[in-house]
Amino acid sequence: MTSAVGKAGQQEQLDRVVRRFAEVAPAGWVRLVGNWEAYAEPAGELTLDYLTLAVVDAGDRWQYGQVGYDEPLYDLVAELNRLAAADAPGHAWTVLDLEVDQDHTFRAELGYDPPKRARGIHDEESMGRFETYLDRWVAEHGSRPPGRQGRDVTPEQQSTLDEIVTVYRDAAPDGWLRIVCRWECELAPDGLADSARTHVVIVVEGGELAQVQFPSPDGLTFVRGDWHEELTRATAGGALSVDLLIDRDDYVLTFTEEPSKMLHGDWADSDRRVHEYLDRHRDELAALAGQ
């Protein structure tokens, strides 16, 4: 049995739970998913068995994982249960389901059946639906987040982008499946622009997926010109990363206003996004290749 949260005191406390959940969420989160089971220990102490999860926009894919333990959040949920017990002695909720979206709208449901995880019952209701949450999210929202342009692209800039994509496609080796590019640009204190870029191409060789590096295409510098620098100068912080995924008949462009890591010697993020791309997206790429 489930019901929505009622009574003013409980609603105010739930608002506090939502705010705190959002405060401890990872960067880039788009939805938070929480499930708390409440039960009393033999000594009467209230204990919560919890799952706190987040769907995150990672630029080129959705990520999903556990949000770490946060004592203030735990205490706020425990207090919500105590308020429910005070309002209805002997009939406090035993399960709280909570979904919070990035705009802080949320959905909450209360359950009154005996907690399951606390009794070692890991079925669809208590565990399965959370383990498959990302699959359902991807089915609804697509395998990749929409590009975060964050500004209007002029017709001239769009034309340049189309030329960049064409140059990459023309330079790709036989059997190519997807080109993965990342460019980072920052304005130095003197106003000059510094940039770094890396790219790989996913190919099908002998029926197997492979990832290879290839030299910058001839003409890329000429076509690209000051395109990235112009976009960077339009940002508030003078820093812009560009992720570009190019397929044979489509491409996905993501702009992110953030300081460059490559320019400061930190290649871990670019390695994750670019040089580990095949390992991280093998299933999607295999499907694209018809395997």
The model's pTM is: 0.55
Instruction: Report the Cα 85 to chain-centroid distance in Å.
Output: 36
Cα→Cα distances 215→1, 150, 168, 220, Å = 61, 30, 10, 11
Q: Please provide residue 241's backbone torsions phi and psi, each rounded to the nearest 5 degrees.
A: -105, 145
Q: Which of residues 119, 141, 163 is at a domain's end?
A: 141
Asked, for residue 149, whether it belongs to a domain, the answer is no
Residues 136 and 203 in one domain: no
- Domain with residue 88: its CATH number is 3.30.500.20
Dist. CA 15–CA 51, nearest whole Å: 19
Q: Residue 91 pLDDT more than 70?
A: yes
Would you say residue 189 lies in a domain? yes
Query: Residues 102, 167: one domain?
Result: no
Question: Are residue 133 and residue 168 in the same domain, yes or no?
Answer: no
Q: Which whole number is the average pLDDT over 37-66?
A: 88
CATH number for the domain harbouring residue 236: 3.30.500
| Res. 86: pLDDT tops 50 | yes
* pLDDT-derived band at 152, boundaries 50, 70, 90: low
* Residue at 9 is within a domain: yes
Residue 147 located in a structural domain: no
Do 114 and 39 share a domain, yes or no? yes
Residue 245: half-sphere exposure toward Cβ, Cα within 13 Å: 20
Q: Are residue 172 and residue 99 in the same domain, yes or no?
A: no
Position of tokens 């017990």?
85
- Looking at residue 127, its pLDDT comes to 95
What is the Cα–Cα distance from 24 to 280, expressed in whole angstroms? 26
pLDDT for 8: 78
pLDDT tens by residue, 52-74: 999 998 776 788 988 989 999 99
- Return the beta strands (E) in the chain as ranges: 2-3, 29-40, 46-57, 62-66, 95-101, 106-111, 176-187, 193-205, 208-212, 239-246, 251-256
Would you say residue 150 has pLDDT above 90? Answer: no
On whether residue 85 sits in a domain, the answer given is yes
**Structural domain boundaries enclosing 242:** 155-288
Contact 143, 61 (CB under 8 A): yes
Q: Is residue 225 part of a domain?
A: yes
Q: Are residues 178 and 95 in the same domain?
A: no
Same domain (yes/no): 169, 245: yes
How many domains are contained in the chain? 2
| Amino acid identity at 217 | P
- Residue 241, both tokens: 């990363």
Same domain assignment for residues 170 and 282: yes
Looking at the fold, whether 133 and 199 belong to one and the same domain comes out as: no
**Is 197 part of any domain?**
yes
Q: Are residues 125 and 220 in the same domain?
A: no
Q: Is the pLDDT of residue 14 over 50?
A: yes
- Per cent of the chain over pLDDT 90 is 49
Q: Are residues 72 and 191 in the same domain?
A: no
Percent of the chain with pLDDT over 70: 95
User: Given 95, 114, 141, which residue is the final one in a domain?
Assistant: 141
Domain edge (last residue) among 88, 113, 141: 141
Is residue 122 one of the residues assigned to a domain?
Answer: yes
Residues 127 and 166 occupy one common structural domain: no
